[in-house]
Structures are given as structure tokens and as C-alpha cells.
Amino acid sequence: MNPVICLASISPRRRELLAQIGVAHIVVGADIDEAVLPDEGPRAYVIRLAREKALAIRRTGQQLPVLAADTTVVVDGKIFGKPRDRAQGIDMLGELAGRTHEVLTAVALAGSFGVSERLSASTVRFRKITPAECAAYWETGEPRDKAGGYAIQGFGAVFVESLSGSYSAVMGLPLFETGELLQAAGIQCWNSASPSRERA
């Protein structure tokens, strides 16, 4: 089936989630500066990044509507992005251990109709995690490219004591909000049973 949108992300998780709801797509990765602006709050931050990713791909001349998302983990108002190295990754997991944190995922859709966005907020509680477990988890390789330094759909699931909100949003693409954006743009879900195509 012909693609109906362009996904501005090379994340395999987001591709899987789009495929789950039957939306045929191509993939074009968006490369933007993800630095937090002065006095920018976590919610404004993720919404801005999702919008900027979608608009960056549209500006390249992409004709298909562009879907983009951004996820961040927040503890005490502090933004936890992707860990830059082993030490930070282990520190992040240590800070999340035995506590509740917020996962914010913004999704944006840009096209000839303009750009719209939605925000999903979920609450995740971790069990206590020993320093040895933090180190062992880092060595799996899983935390390296994940906001907050863990993957709920992977090995990191063993740390999750409870989740209130959207599982797909914690993975990286809130399907309820994505469906709302697509429906508003006249794009139907469940129309594709064939694999999406990736473009370099």
C-alpha cells in the first residue's frame, strides 16, 4: 500500500507502533538541536521539539504529511533526555529507582493544513534498583538511546512497578493522540497490512 505519511524518526519503536494501527509510512530522520531553552519547562520542551522535527522535514520539500514525536522523562521538574555516557545512564536509573516519574510525549503532524500537536503525560513508578542492577542494565546496551535511560518495552520492564497513562506514549508514540491528529487530517488508520518503506 502507498505510504500516507512520513515519519520523522528512525526509531524502530515508533515504526512498530504506526504499523500496529495500520498506517503506511516512509521514514526520514529529523536532525535538530535538542538543547533545552532558558526557562523552558518540560511540557513546552517536548511540544517544541515534536513541532520542530515535523517542520524540519516538511521544509525539505516532503509532500506527505509529516508525523514527529518527542519523549522526555521528568523528575522533580528536571528533564532526563538520552544519557550521554555510562556514568550518566547509571546515575539516571539510580535517580528513578524507588520513585515515581513523569513521561511526557508530544506528537505533531505537519502538512499543507499547517501543524497540530498533542501531548500525553504518563506516570511511572520504579521499584528499588541496586547499583549492581543499574550497571548490569547499562551493559545490555538498551538504555543508550532512550529518554530517561530505560525502555519499558524491553529489559527495563522489570523495573516498572506501576504505570498510569499510556503505554504506547512511554514507548515513544501515543497512539490515542496520534489517531486524533491523523483523523483530523483525514488520514485513516487500519488501511495498511503491508510493510512500510524506509528511505535513507
- Grid coordinates standing for 60? 525539505
> What is the spatial distance between Cα 60 and Cα 186, in angstroms, rounded to a whole number?
23
* 82: containing domain: 5-198
Question: What pLDDT score does 145 carry?
Answer: 87
For residue 57, give the amino acid letter: I
Question: What pLDDT score does 81 carry?
Answer: 87
Distances (CA, A) of 54 to 32, 96, 111: 10, 30, 9
CA-CA-CA-CA torsion for 60, 63, 64, 66, nearest 10 degrees? 30
CA neighbours within 13 Å on the CB side: how many for 151?
A: 16
Q: Cα–Cα–Cα angle for 200, 14, 170, nearest 5°? A: 145
Point out which residues pair with 123 in neighbouring strands: 102, 164
Catalytic residue among 70, 85, 91, 145: 70
> What is the spatial distance between Cα 24 and Cα 196, in angstroms, rounded to a whole number?
5
Alpha helix ranges (H) inside the chain: 12-20, 42-58, 86-96, 131-139, 167-171, 175-184
85 is catalytic: no
Check: CB of residue 109 under 8 Å from CB of residue 173.
Answer: no
Structurally, how many domains does the chain consist of?
1
CATH number of the domain within which 68 lies:
3.90.950.10
Q: Can you give the pLDDT of all 200 residues of the chain as single tens digits?
A: 788 999 999 999 999 999 999 999 999 999 899 999 999 999 999 999 999 999 999 999 999 999 999 999 999 999 998 899 999 999 999 999 999 999 999 999 999 999 999 999 999 999 999 999 999 999 999 999 898 999 999 999 999 999 999 999 999 999 999 999 999 999 988 865 444 444 43
CA-wise closest residue to 71 among 151, 184, 176, 161: 151
Question: What pLDDT score does 192 carry?
Answer: 53
pTM for this one?
0.90
